[in-house]
Amino acid sequence: MEIADLIAGEPASVSTWTHRVYERIRGQSLSDAAWRSLFELGVDTALARRDLDGLRSVLSLAATYYDSIGDQFGCLPNFEATMARVQDDPQARAVELECTHDILIGNS
């Protein structure tokens, strides 16, 4: 499965999709454009559906992907960009803060 296959369409289930994505990209250093397209598709889909579990899965995907390539804090710019997007949504913001906390505490 190529990266293009993973971003070809909106996933039926964001959480299931993130698991498939991680199996495909684990340990591979993706280009910034490839990673950004995967991450943005997941976040866009989760937010459009108000799928908080999906959002959590996408943020977890970012953390585990970067950890798999040896950059344990590499996901933080993605988290910051997502926080800017969800600042007016208390529920999505709470998920974002929870995931950020888990990353910072888990990797300290």
Confidence of residue 107 (pLDDT cuts 50, 70, 90): low
Angle at 13 between CA 77 and CA 10, to 5 degrees: 70
Q: Which of 79, 72, 73, 74 is nearest to 58 (CA)?
A: 79
Token pair of 21 as six digits: 């994505």
Q: What is the pLDDT of residue 31?
A: 94
Whether pLDDT at 1 is above 70: no
pLDDT in tens, 43-77: 999 999 999 999 999 999 999 999 999 998 899 99
Mean pLDDT for all residues in the chain: 93
**Prediction pTM value:** 0.92
What would the two tokens of residue 25 be? 């990209």
Angle at CA of residue 16, ends 49 and 73, nearest 5°: 90
86-102: b (≥16 Cβ within 10 Å) or e: beeeeebeebbeebbee
